[in-house]
Amino acid sequence: MNRFSFFLAPVSNVVPHKTVELHQIYNVIRGDYYRQPTEELQRLRRLQQEEKITQRDVQRFKARHFDYATFSGEFTRRRDDALLAHSGLICLDFDHIDQWHDGGRLSGVYGLRYALMHDASVDTALLFRSPGGDGLKWVVPIDLAQGTHTDWFEILSFYVSRNYGVEPDPSGRDLSRACYLPWDPDVVMMKW
């Protein structure tokens, strides 16, 4: 049923608040709940680019102000060895893709979002912008009868690298990887 753990900020909190389903996270991301911290984080990133604050300041804000989920499963604690049940989902995180271009008309975050959501070979469960605004989180269903979580991460990483020229953050291979939940009114949820 694709249930997974939801955690309240800060990221140092490793005990789940509750177990949720995809549609609940979709509604929270789409609504205004995370709008203020997302807009503030994006403002801080602009200040960092102007060298008025450090990357560490930006990271500290994100770690303190964003709730997060472990899309790959339900956990008693946020540790790989505390997995209760795998959700059958994996989250690929693409950072700093605002300069991405497919060689045609598609470019940037919205271009890659469009390409991934229309990919005929890989189903999309959820697709949304990262809190910083220049990345994407791509949640896809996986069949654990056909390979392990790590196998699927490697296969999907190779696939997107070969077909789209982007590399997902390698931390996505971790079962208990925290995924910060932003505000994104353009979040996409698809049935597969």
Q: Is 21 or 100 the better-scoring residue by pLDDT?
A: 21
- pTM value is 0.92
Whose CA is closest to 182, among 24, 8, 19, 41?
A: 41
One-letter identity of residue 88? G
- Please state, in angstroms and rounded to a whole number, the distance separating the CA atoms of residues 7 and 96: 25
Q: How many residues does the chain have?
A: 192
pLDDT digits (tens, 9 = 90+) for 84-131: 999 999 999 999 887 666 666 667 888 899 999 999 999 999 999 999
pLDDT digits (tens, 9 = 90+) for 146-184: 999 999 999 999 999 999 989 999 998 999 999 999 999
- pLDDT over 90 at 192, yes or no: no
- Please state, in angstroms and rounded to a whole number, the distance separating the CA atoms of residues 74 and 120: 29
